[in-house]
A and B are shown apart, each in its own frame.
Chain A
Amino acid sequence: MKATRLFPLLRLSLPALLIAALLLLAAFPEQVCPYDPYAQNLALSLQGPGGEHLLGTDRYGRDLLSRIIMGSQASIYAALLLVSITSLGGTLIGLWAGLSGGWMDTLLMRFADTCLAFPGLVLALAVAAVTGGGMVNAVLALAAISWPKYARLARSQALSLKGREFVLAARLSGTGPLMLALRHILPNAAGPIIITAMLDIGTMMMELAGLSFLGLGAKPPVAEWGSMMSVGRSMLQTSPWTVLAPGAAIFLTVALFNLFGDGVRDYFDVKSRKR
């Protein structure tokens, strides 16, 4: 391996290792929490950081550090789920539109335009009202408006690959449209889509936290970073740690995923690596 490739690899693997650790933590948060994140103890209400409770306690005397560790589960896995749904669904629709062309293409892309133009807030509330609230709605609502980005990308990839020799050869040898799309087009179109998805995780995490902050995602008492900040907001003046601690958790996690996304892009994209 050349030395020029070593630095990008290092920049990729360090965040990757940290993310792996974070995912493990978020998978088994109960094992790590120093206290029960849902146990109320009003005698310990709103204790400052330091001492027995490292990050302090909230209004009901619950340990903030434990709640943040517990909250990593909802915050991180919801974002990963959301990005998986939008990138997979959007890619399939985009490939379909690009490969079939004609009226089907027009129909699908107009549908994508309509979804892009739809205000996410209205959708999030309606979905929340139908399904009764929770993190799942926030994921569904954001998925419904963010897939067109992937559809457009996949469509343009499909259009440029459609006329290439290897695709023509496959078609001439009798490959059906579904096999053609999945075996020949998709593997060649996947690169930019995966890079976009990796860079998207951080943004989606912030969007999800924002919906919870507005009360349209996770609801108290569920431990989730955005909703913890929303609850703490009224106590910003007197107990700022109830806002700052979950805020810092979101910031650090998003930064880590962004670092990883940049690393993935720089490692695979030769053009941007020169910079």
Chain B
Amino acid sequence: MASVPLLDVRDLTVEFATRRGTVRAVERVSFSVARGETVGIVGESGSGKSVSSYAVLRILDRAGRIAEGSITFGGVALDRVPERTMAEMRGREISMVFQNPRAALNPIRPIGRQIEDVLIEHALAVPATARAMAVEALRAVRIARPEERYHAYPFELSGGMCQRVVIAIALACRPQLLIADEPTTGLDVTTQKAVMDLMVELSRERGMSVVLITHDLGLAAAYCDRIVVMEKGAVVENAPAAEVFAAPRHPYTRRLLQATPRPEAGLRDLLPHPVPPPRPQAPGAPLLEVRDLVKEFRGRNGAAPFRAVDAISFTVHEGESLGLVGESGCGKSTTSAMIMRLLDPTSGSIRFAGQEVGTVPASRFARHPLRGKLQMVFQDPTDSLNPRWTAFRSIADPLLRLGGPERGAGRGALRAKAEELARRVGLPTDLLDRFPHQLSGGQKARVGIARAIALDPDLVILDEPTAALDVSVQAVVLNLLADLKAELGMSYLFVSHDLNVVRLVCDRVMVMRGGRIIEEGDTGRILHAPSDPYTRALLDAIPHLPAAAAPAGAL
């Protein structure tokens, strides 16, 4: 390369002091970013991708330190300059955008003031001029009515808007380099697209370099010039994006590409080794029939009541898996909570296994004979497990509460049943005595699934069961769910925001928006010939791997 790179990281090693000694989170990592270039750092959790970028800005936790290596930015050795110089660089030359935008903003300070803080700190404004500049910064990130929004607090804005504000703060001083750490994780796909497009547009306009840290290969493929793949604290591949997707060199890159859901791949294609597909099930009699289901929430301050779910009807047949897809606030969680009888419907009927359960009060359903036949797997495998219970206790909980033959049979039988369930979900039985914090994300997901199938349910509601998992774990868990369904003859109601994932598991898909089901049909049809423009927009917003990345040839 003829020109000197803007950012050059050489042999960076970051250590963390922990109770069990020093841990190397990142070891001898090298990469560089040229002026105007967008570089994607891709890896799964624990790969060290965030730590590397925190090290660049020197905002590591107190326990972390740069042990070796050099970081050069525009000719300045960032690892050696005094803290004072570094503070001047932060926000002015190098900025950062974070995951979870709402938490990344000061909750009790108007957003305009937060932008002003940065401008004044870096002497780009004085209090008299700061306000106009802050409004201008809000306008630059396409926030409508910026003069009004200047006074808004983060809790008054949507997640996508908050991320725009975070970007406005980061770009207020026109830095040369923007580091975006999972900037769109947790946002809806249409919002993700809008935020990413905005970032790309602004960086082009200003000739800014961008480092995009993400776990999503599709996102990196769509927006990056070059890709750095990290695994366990080390860089395993560093090449132009087109090359990485066309001819991945490192086996880990190949595995990652393979596990990423993509339009042409089936469920089994995500696994590293070929496995015969699960036995197809012919849909049987109707199992769950929902008719004209409505949930209204009381309006605040005498406002009109809010219809979260607006007269929806659908049927789940025996042995079928139905996807319920929609963006945040569309009413999908309210719907699943009503079916689980955690929430009382305002009107409408829920018939399950031939019985009307919609009229059973939510407070009494826990003792209903059908309760055991209806189970749920939750989104966050960590938060949905009792932190003070072992995996065994969590799995045994439904058996103890809702019976089954093991209830009175003593501890031995209970243990045997829990071990059988653990084997069924692929959880090593010696992990049964561990607590959630001693288990990995995938293992916790398995505990959640084992708990849900403990009572041989007929219907399992899967609420974004893989949203918090790494792609390679997601691939395995999705396959596990499909196998279990075939083995145990269950039906699924798969609630998700991610059409790409729903597609892999579901026979039919419903698309929900504003409390209504706007489209319903066979998965293939919805994906390839959606009739509703909103479904189309959802599909279009999903970033895809380039076709060349089809890893059939990669293995």
Determine if chain A interacts with chain B: no
